[in-house]
Amino acid sequence: MFFMITGYLFWKRLLLKGESIDWLELYVNRAFRIYPLYLVLIVAYFCIAWSRVVPNSPLSITQLCGELAQWFSFGLFGKPQPLFGLEGATAAVGPTWSLRYEWLFYISLPLLAVFARNKQAAAITASALFLLQTLNGFIAEPYRSFLAQFLCGMLTASILRAFPAMRGDGFLKSSFAVVSLVGAIVLTDTPYSPSGTLFLGASFFLIASGASLFGLLKSRGVKRLGNISYSVYLLHSAVLTILMTRIGILTFALSSDGHFWLTAGLMFSCTVLISVVTFAVIERGGIAIGRRFTGRRLSRREGDDAGAQQLEVMPLTEARLAKPANTQSNLLY
């Protein structure tokens, strides 16, 4: 659903704003929204990998710099080389694989904006999703599923824009949303399949159109978890890697089912507490910097526009003032 949310939010923006989108502002805000926390994770990954390097092992500075450049490129490389050649340490940055596809989607937005201006945007997205799901072998898995998930979010935004009356909450709506989620887990082997995408897409549509899952999604706690969800998503694997590689914790967790769930609960709580801090300090800080940057740019642009308008108005104003005229009219002008 991560890709569905992205498809929904940005396709909705294209539908609403049309040609008035400031692309530089959009990309700058995205970079400052996502990249700062990513940098923190890569630094944590470097520390984890460094702690596992065998003493006196030969390290090539050139090779290390090349590996760091791949990781700091934020998805430019499909699969960056493990730092220090340690495959196991990459578990700490497991979730970062999806960010590459996020950026590929962002890059495609100017092209998608052309289709968003079409009055049949809902039909276009529905047709694209249908063809993608029925033409086997046209695009290899899991890339076909990724595209289908983006399209599910886009189709949801198109339908809700065309039929706003479909918005709203209710017992039946929440029930069908839960059934669709259960179906995705029970009736499919993997979410990377046409049936998995269908079940998840149906549940996403119901939730995006207002289903609160019997009020759960309206609770204050869940909303706050939503605010820190990027930190939870990006950092949970690092928390797991750090804690579960401690022999004492691992032994305790595997000694019984009860110990396992207790350990899982403690790790989840730890992840949430860390995410609260990273959201408040890093994510909000990055957002604020991005807004200040785009705000200064907008102020300069508005100042230039105002200056240009003043230059255009001045000759006409001087001409009016040069001849007898009603003083009130000149003041109003």
pLDDT digits (tens, 9 = 90+) for 81-99: 898 888 888 999 989 989 8
Instruction: With respect to residue 281, please indicate whether it lies within any of the assigned structural domains.
Output: no
Residue 324 has pLDDT above 60, yes or no: no
Token pair for residue 77? 């490389």
C-alpha closest to that of 177 among 219, 206, 210: 206
C-alpha closest to that of 152 among 105, 211, 189, 215: 105
Which carries the bigger pLDDT value, residue 18 or residue 306?
18
Q: State how far the Cα of 158 lies from the Cα of 125, in Å rounded to an integer.
A: 8
What's the pLDDT score for residue 331?
28
Instruction: With respect to residue 285, please indicate whether it lies within any of the assigned structural domains.
Output: no
- What's the predicted TM-score (pTM) here? 0.82
Instruction: With respect to residue 84, please indicate whether it lies within any of the assigned structural domains.
Output: yes
Question: Residue 139 belongs to what domain range?
Answer: 2-215
Instruction: With respect to residue 163, please indicate whether it lies within any of the assigned structural domains.
Output: yes
Instruction: With respect to residue 317, please indicate whether it lies within any of the assigned structural domains.
Output: no
Number of domains in the chain: 1
Token pair for residue 30? 């995205």
Q: State how far the Cα of 235 lies from the Cα of 94, in Å rounded to an integer.
A: 9
Token pair for residue 245? 């590689």
| Residues 6 or more apart in contact with residue 83 via CB below 8 angstroms | 45, 46, 49, 50, 64, 67, 68, 71, 89
Instruction: With respect to residue 253, please indicate whether it lies within any of the assigned structural domains.
Output: no
What's the pLDDT score for residue 194?
86
71 contacts 45 by C-beta, under 8 angstroms: yes
Instruction: With respect to residue 161, please indicate whether it lies within any of the assigned structural domains.
Output: yes
What's the pLDDT band for 213 if we cut at 50, 70, 90? very high
Q: Note the pLDDT tens digit of each residue in 46-84.
A: 998 888 887 767 777 888 888 898 898 877 777 888 988
In the chain, what's the furthest Cα-to-Cα distance? 97
Instruction: With respect to residue 121, please indicate whether it lies within any of the assigned structural domains.
Output: yes
What's the pLDDT score for residue 165?
94
Q: State how far the Cα of 118 lies from the Cα of 125, in Å rounded to an integer.
A: 11
